[in-house]
Amino acid sequence: MKRKGFLKHSEYEQDFELNIASVIDCFVVLIAFILISSSFFSIGIIDAEVAGASEVAASDAGSLVVELKADHSILVRSSESPKNERILPKQAAKGIAWDFEGMAAALKAMKEKSPELKSAVVMADNAVTYRDVMASMEAAKKEVSSVNLGGF
């Protein structure tokens, strides 16, 4: 018979086994989720510098300036000369397309006239897509060693 207030030591013991199988199952699922989702991440590096906030920064450096317009025309000029060379868009099967080959040819011609110009600044209107800006940078890199983003 137990007396009130007097308990044996065995009744205080909390000797039980912890079932960690469910915790391990949760971690296995979490690790699988992290591994699968990490395969969807791709890290890309754009090899570009960002020029100053205006055309003044580009003109101080003595470089070529490429302006992508919303109507798919491209203005190419030297920062030392105010004369623009306007490259009109090509008519493609899907409509209007950029003439990046003409832009590269204009950059090459201007670089031959002024060999000290070794960099280019690419500026774009707000309506120009990111893909087109990157494509113009890749086309400019074929003729100019350093291509910067500017005019933001």
Residue pLDDT, tens place only, 58-112: 444 578 888 888 888 888 888 777 676 777 777 655 667 888 888 888 888 888 8
Of 132 and 11, the structure prediction assigns the larger pLDDT to: 132
- Backbone phi and psi for residue 11, each to the nearest 5 degrees, phi listed first: -75, -20
Instruction: Dig out the tokens for 146 from the structure.
Output: 């350093």
pLDDT recorded at residue 92: 57
Taking Cα atoms as reference points, which of 98, 101, 140, 135 lies closest to residue 120?
140
CA end-to-end distance (rounded Å), the chain: 88
Q: List Cβ neighbours of 111 (8 Å cut-off, separation of 6 or more).
A: 64, 117, 118, 143, 144
Q: In whole angstroms, give the CA distance from residue 119 to residue 62.
A: 8
Average pLDDT over residues 102-125: 85
Q: Are 48 and 137 in contact (CB under 8 A)?
A: yes
Q: List Cβ neighbours of 51 (8 Å cut-off, separation of 6 or more).
A: 57, 58, 61, 121, 148, 149, 150, 151
Taking Cα atoms as reference points, which of 47, 51, 73 lies closest to residue 64?
51
pLDDT recorded at residue 130: 87
pTM over 0.75: no
Residue pLDDT, tens place only, 1-60: 555 555 555 556 666 677 889 999 999 999 998 888 876 665 554 555 555 544 444 444
pLDDT recorded at residue 58: 42
Q: Are 142 and 116 in contact (CB under 8 A)?
A: no
Average pLDDT over residues 135-141: 89
Average pLDDT over residues 108-135: 86
pLDDT recorded at residue 56: 43
